[in-house]
A = this chain, B = another copy of it.
Amino acid sequence: MPSTVFAPAELREGTLRVTPIGGLGEIGRNMTIFEYAGKILIVDCGVLFPEVDQPGVDLILPDFSPIRDRLDDVVGVVLTHGHEDHIGAVPYLLRLRQDIPLIGSSLTLALVEAKLKEHRIQPYSLTVSEGQTEKLGPFELEFVAVNHSIPDALAVFIATPGGTVLHTGDFKMDQLPLDNRITDLRAFARLGERGVDLFLVDSTNADVPGFTALERSIGPVLDSVIARAPRRVIVASFSSHVHRVQQVLDAAHANGRRVALLGRSMVRNMTIAAELGYLKVPENVLIDYKKAKDIPDDKIVYMSTGSQGEPMAVLSRMANLDHQIEVGPGDTVILASSLIPGNENAVYRVIDGLTKLGANVVHKGNAKVHVSGHASAGELLYCYNILKPKNVLPVHGEYRHLVANAKLARDTGVPEANTILAEDGTVIDLRDGVATVVGQLDLGYVYVDGSTVGEITEADLKDRRILAEEGFISIIIVVESATGRVVVGPEIHAKGFAEDESVFDDVKPKIIAALADAARDGIREQHALQQVVRRTVGRWVNTSYRRRPMIVPMVIEA
């Protein structure tokens, strides 16, 4: 993947080494390694969700190889917030060393602990909050409040004798957030005065001009849709979006409706958020979904998962009439959510399915029911101007986002040489305020599939893509070991190629003839005979059908 791999020199004394190993050139699996004086600090440890050309893969992890042999040097993992792309790989890291301390805000740690419980891991954790400072090995940390689409997100300032770093995590700068907890620009100003040698900054929306709209602008829209809804209302959103759910609860309450939570992760996360006080549940609003049936249709709101068209989530199942709540005419469905690139077809399929059942579907395409959780270009300019960082490393984004973010930095006066366009595995050394790229590691994707981690390879995925496009044909032939004479077969079976296996009657004599030729030429070795069969069938299928299925020949001696 990386352009040119080269090994970094040994880390010199007094130098801080920064190596992002996930989240650059992709939206997901965010993870950065900081090394100073033999000790390692990690910021975030997330997962990436697979794309269409990675079929069957459940999750993609960062490649832990740069720290695999150094686990005892790790002083801790700072988790900036509780989204999967920042905490999802923690269980896989802790499988390697269970007592690595986790550092994060109270909501973040509660969410990661719930996840670890499913993996039967009890972590060592240290709860921190904004303004707090901590020292982990040689790393002096200060935590700064930032505002995002989940409460209690933190940026982290890291000071070492080699240099200082500010890592934003994911953030935006909503100036009127629901919890009044704004991104702390005063702290940014103060840290800027002190001097930030390297600024790691969220790039997700760097190519979006202007400013991200206020989360609270959605409330009145939800209220008016719910007020006019003649029957049931179903709202779908991310199950960690506490403030979005808060606004649904408030709008339902204002309209005299009860709310039932649907979906395992929605129930789990909102229970945690309510217990910790992040979600303020109006009295007598929540109701168990099993009891919701007894409530009149115009007095209920279902708050559900599945806003990205995930096939097994509540909303998709409703669209397929495969859920106990049968959507019908007069029902209103609100997708109060983003539309992540790659999910369009799945989401539109759900919208079409619900529309066909008679529902009125409200989504960000036809109403203001979603705002992003990331800072747009205008907000990022504020950051650069108030912080005045010496060097900038755009993180968290596809390559085009990193480039757009670097341009914003330059526009505010950061010299071009000091804006670093890195990728996963780029090694950056920081010393005396100078950031230098000193290496490029060769890192791969680590695929989780079922209970296996890292066993599925790129070659397997290539095979899967061929199988998906073309199916396979298997040919079995048993030959007499003494003579090489065909005694059974060719038996031919195919999957994903054609239903009617009589199409293969055509090629069987060709295989027999090719093997007879091979025998005449003295070819007896199994692999060579299989090649003969593969070539014969391959040529036939390409000529007759203009297709290239996988051909799996097996010549067996008996």
Binding site for B on A (CB under 8 A): 25, 51-52, 55-56, 207, 341-342, 344-345, 348, 351-352, 355-356, 361, 365-366, 398-400, 403, 449-452, 455-457, 459-461, 463-465, 467-472, 474, 476, 478, 487-489, 491, 493, 495-500, 544-547, 550, 552, 554, 556-558
Contact = CB atoms under 8 A, between A and B. Distances in A.
B467 A399 contact: no
Contact of A558 (B452, B488, B545): B488
Contacts of A52: 52, 345
Given A345-B51, A460-B498, A474 B471 contact: no
A400 B207 contact: no
B403 A545 contact: no
30 contacts: A52-B52, A55-B468, A56-B470, A56-B471, A56-B496, A348-B398, A348-B400, A352-B399, A449-B545, A449-B547, A450-B546, A451-B545, A451-B546, A451-B547, A452-B547, A455-B499, A457-B499, A460-B497, A460-B499, A464-B468, A464-B469, A464-B495, A467-B468, A474-B552, A474-B554, A478-B478, A487-B558, A488-B558, A489-B556, A491-B556
A335 to B, nearest CB: 12
A340 to B, nearest CB: 9
Contacts of A550: 495
A38 to B, nearest CB: 34
Contacts of A489: 556
A371 B399 CA distance: 26
Stoichiometry (number of copies): 2
Given A545-B450, A547-B450, A493 B552 contact: yes
Given A56-B496, A499-B459, A558-B478, A545 B464 contact: no
Given A488-B557, A493-B554, 7 more contacts: A52-B52, A352-B398, A356-B399, A460-B498, A474-B474, A478-B478, A558-B558
A468 to B, nearest CB: 3
Contacts of A472: 467, 472, 495
B55 A400 contact: no
Contacts of A403: 355
A318 B460 CA distance: 27
A356 B423 CA distance: 11
B460 A496 contact: yes
Nearest to A474: B474
Contacts of A55: 468-469
Contacts of A545: 449-452
A413 B519 CA distance: 81
A552 B554 CA distance: 13
Given A476-B476, A558-B488, A496 B352 contact: no
Given A456-B498, A496-B467, A476 B556 contact: yes
Contacts of A400: 348, 351-352, 355, 361
Contact of A468 (B450, B465, B491): B465
A322 to B, nearest CB: 16
B56 A469 contact: yes
A228 to B, nearest CB: 15
A329 to B, nearest CB: 12
A526 to B, nearest CB: 10
Nearest to A341: B344
